[in-house]
Amino acid sequence: MICISTRGQAPAVPFREAVASGLAPDGGLYVPATLARQPDAWWQSLRGAPFPDVAVAMAQALLGDEFERAELEALVREALSFPVPVVRLDDRLQVVELFHGPTFAFKDFGARTLARLLALGERGVAAGDGIRVEGLTVLVATSGDTGSAVAQAFYGVPHTRVVVLYPEGQVSRVQEAQFTTLGRNVTAVAVDGTFDDCQRLAKAAFADAALGARLRLTSANSISLGRLVPQMFYYAFAALQAPASARIICSVPSGNFGNLAAGVMAWRMGVPIDRFVAATNVNDTVPRYLDTGVYQPRPSVATIANAMDVGAPSNFERLQWLFGGDLAAMRAMISATVHTDAEVRHAIGELHRRYGYVADPHTAIAYLGTQALEHPSPPAPQHLFLSTAHPAKFADVVEPAIGGAVELPGPLAAALTREQFVTRIGGTLDELAAILEA
């Protein structure tokens, strides 16, 4: 898969190289140079297939030119070895549960795949010229769930170290416990600031040439194309569960917009989705853009769906590229909705009352997104909404909203009892560099 930069000023590179470098040298994000539409018969053959088979078929179609067949299949099956239930709530509404990975949020799809891709790359370095592998430092900024998914995916992997930057006091207790209690090759850094500050710091570190010369630094944020490709797979799987005649509207709870960018890439390959809803909390930079045509990032605001508290979504650049910078084309495919904390709490209660379904706040935002579109002409569409986290990760919000307890899965309960290791910094690159070079 040939990859190019969204900014068009960097050489085209193979996917594996794009993954190894994270950000393109011109500061843009890597995107597939082309996304060949697969023939209808090919999609037809995957209809109703189990998730791992759909994932392997798509991986081969996208990356088969760069990997040995068996190696790629093993990588995908191993990275994505957890179930993807599609739960029907009523005749027009289904929820796609993406939280059955080891850290109970959908970020496991990207993080586990990326870790394996980078490990393969390390082997290449070691075998290629006999140089001792000095080790890779994976730097990741998290608004909550990325940190644990990435830390868990790289935990104990030889020659790698993970540094997790997170906004102090703005992630849930369970989220924090998941990445601060691992130790070993995982360093948790609490930043006195917001997620945007963390993201800015990470970008500054990647852009610092001197630091880059001393360290092999790579990103595990959704700026990495290696995280987005595996996220394309579940769109295909979920859409192919419906009858071929169904019109599908897919509601995506969005923050940094990696998930939606993956959905759009899947659609470009021919996944039968008619429309996307980008559902956000009050951090509404992209909905405002769709509304006004003006892209104006704002400082992020803390909400109860904290993994989506992003004021300057880094994947917006990819989305814009995918639509060739054409606002009308983007509007034709993506609607946007914005939801307050009060609406989200109400939606959690409603899902529980109406369907007996317990949703976390991010999932509830996706549910609210399904109500946003009026479709006067038959046939009535099928609404898919993506469930991105297990409700127990946000029990503080969910329990009062449903008036009952949410059972904490064993691994999450265990994390809460372990000792936490945290380094605190104010938010300057110097402080971060000292940690990275320690």
**Interaction site with ligand PLP (CB under 6 A):** 105, 107, 144-145, 222, 253-259, 307-308, 362, 388-389
Q: Cβ 15 to ligand PLP, closest distance in Å?
A: 19
Q: Give CA–CA dist 394/172, Å, rounded.
A: 7
Of 67 and 237, which CB lies nearer to ligand PLP in the complex structure? 237
Calculate the alpha carbon distances from 349 to 221, 345, 410 in Å: 32, 6, 25
Nearest to 212 by CA among 225, 203, 221: 203
Please report how close the Cβ of residue 294 comes to ligand PLP at its closest, in angstroms.
21
**Nearer to ligand PLP (CB atom), residue 79 or residue 149:** 149
Shortest Å, Cβ 390 to ligand PLP: 9
Each as own residue / partner, the long-range contacts of residues 30-34 (CB below 8 Å, 24 or more positions apart, any chain) are 30/3, 30/4, 30/5, 30/6, 30/225, 31/3, 31/4, 31/5, 31/6, 31/225, 31/318, 31/321, 31/322, 32/1, 32/2, 32/3, 32/62, 32/225, 32/265, 33/1, 33/2, 33/3, 33/4, 34/2
Rank residues 255 and 311 by Cβ distance to ligand PLP and give the closer one.
Answer: 255
Nearer to ligand PLP, 57 or 319 (CB): 319
Q: How far is the CB of 60 from ligand PLP (least distance, A)?
A: 24
Q: Which is nearer to ligand PLP, 304 or 436 (CB)?
A: 304
The least CB distance from residue 388 to ligand PLP, in Å, is 3
Q: How far is the CB of 352 from ligand PLP (least distance, A)?
A: 18
Q: Where are the beta strands (DSSP E) in 120-267?
A: 136-141, 160-167, 186-191, 217-219, 248-253
Q: Count CB neighbours of 136 within 10 A.
A: 21
Closer to ligand PLP at the Cβ: 97 or 122?
97
184, 153 Cβ separation under 8 angstroms: no
